[in-house]
Every structure is written in C-alpha cells, then in structure tokens.
Amino acid sequence: MRELCLPFSLEPHDIRQLDELVATRQRLKKGDILYRAGDSFASLHAVRQGSTMTTVLAEDGREQVCGYHLPGDLFGLDGIDNGRHKGQSIALEDSEICAVPLERLEELARHVPALQRNLHRFLSREIDRDHNIMLLLGSMRAEERLAAFLLNLANRYRQRGYSSTEFVLRMTREEIGSFLGLKLETVSRLFSRFQQEGLIQAQGRAVKLLDVTALKQLAGHRC
C-alpha cells in the first residue's frame, strides 16, 4: 500500500495499522470479474499488480467504461451509498488486487485525522477525474479524445517509473472506444491516422508516442 495515496504523510505507527487493514490479496486471471453491479459492497480495492477496468451498464445492455486502473490505483467506491456496487470491475490481465474493508478504514480514519483527510482527498480526486472525462466526452472531438487518453496513460506510467512514451495497452479497441465514447472502428482509424501523421507508432496494443508536443496540442494541453 505504500505507493497509494492513503498513507501519505501518515505516522509510521498509523501506516502499520493501515497495512493491517488490507485483509485479502486476491489473484485474478485475465477477464475475471472482481465484482458485478448489484454485488454487496464492503471494501475499496487497490491494484497491486496488473490492471482492471470499471464499467457501468445501462438497462439496454450498453456499457460505458468508467475507469482504467493501474498498479497503485484505488477504485470501487461506487456502492458506499447503499452497500451495493453500481458498476462492475474486470481484470484486464492476470492481476493481484487488495481489498480494504471500508468499515475498518472509517474506524481508523476517525482516530487518524491525516488518514481521514487523505481518504477525502482521494474521493475528491476521483470526482475531479470524472469531471475531466465529462469534459472529454462532452466537448472534445474523436482525435482529441484519443490524444488525451494516450497522454493520460503516459503521465501515469511516468509517475510509476515506467517509460512514458512506450507502453502496451491492455484494452481492446472496443474498450478504448467505450471509454472515449467512440466506436471501435473510429478508434482503429485514429490509431492508423496518428501513425501516418507520425504522432505515434503502433502495432496492435503496443504504442510508442513519437510526437508528444503535437499530441498535447491536439488534446488542448489538457494533459
């Protein structure tokens, strides 16, 4: 959990207590579902290894990808409200996920103000993140969305000490499309076009960013 936001600036003693909370450490295979809509909610989840994707489903079956989570990310907060998950979470590759029981986390937060604050910070960041995605979905064109998506990934890989210009996507074109509010063919065409224009080099899911400046310009400096 050290890499997560929750322990930030906590006393060593409190960090130890927080570590003890992390009850289960679950291994998932690619495609495994961690929870479904309607499942009872009890814990936040943290990616330790691998990656996951969270989605919401409409009644008519349409699906919207809401999040793409890399190691160190915390997710699965929908459901605090009524104790039932609203969306679902699926492993994009073989992954290891930690569960943090909310009730015990709240208990600890009551005694450790810094932890309480970090938890709120985290929830607030999640809301900010969603607002940015709403901006993306509501007012950006297809090419701008993909550019923003790639730059967002670049930043997150950099933060984690990986190459920010060369990485392997774990989502299919269709999943990326769902995340960005586009159809898979549109995503595929954009990858081809970006490549033609020398912005990226891509073969399948392996991507290399060649012209980050141009991508930033496309994305409106939003990343």
Q: Which does 168 bind (CB under 5 to 8 A by kind): DNA, its own copies, none?
A: none
Contact 130, 64 (CB under 8 A): no
Structure tokens at 29: 């295979």
Contact 157, 147 (CB under 8 A): no
DSSP string, 143-191: HHHHHHHHHHHHHHHHHTTS-SSEEE--S-HHHHHHHHT--HHHHHHHH
One-letter amino acid identity for 133? Answer: I
* Contact positions with its own copies (CB under 8 A) in 91-110: 102, 106, 109-110
Residue 202 in the binding site for DNA (CB under 7 A): yes
Structure tokens at 65: 């990808």
CA-CA-CA-CA torsion sign (135, 136, 137, 142): positive
CB of 184 to its own copies, least distance (A): 13
Residue 64 in the binding site for its own copies (CB under 8 A): yes
Choose which of 71, 72, 101, 181 interacts with its own copies (CB under 8 A): 181
Structure tokens at 175: 């999943």
Contact 211, 202 (CB under 8 A): no
Residue 197 in the binding site for its own copies (CB under 8 A): no
Choose which of 188, 210, 214, 220 interacts with DNA (CB under 7 A): 188
CB of 177 to DNA, least distance (A): 7
* Contact positions with its own copies (CB under 8 A) in 159-178: 178
How many residues touch its own copies under the rule CB under 8 A: the total is 48
Stretch binding DNA (CB under 7 A), from 20-28, 61-69, 140-148, 214-222: 140-148
Residue 161 in the binding site for DNA (CB under 7 A): no
Contact 68, 53 (CB under 8 A): yes
Contact 108, 68 (CB under 8 A): no
Contact 169, 176 (CB under 8 A): yes
Contact 93, 102 (CB under 8 A): no
Residue 155 in the binding site for its own copies (CB under 8 A): no
Structure tokens at 36: 């479904």
Residue 3 in the binding site for its own copies (CB under 8 A): no
Using CB under 8 A as the criterion, which residues of the chain lie in contact with its own copies when the complex forms? 56, 58-60, 62-64, 66, 77-81, 86-87, 102, 106, 109-111, 113, 116-117, 120-121, 123-128, 130-135, 137-140, 178-181, 220-222
Using CB under 7 A as the criterion, which residues of the chain lie in contact with DNA when the complex forms? 141-143, 172-174, 181-189, 191-192, 202-205
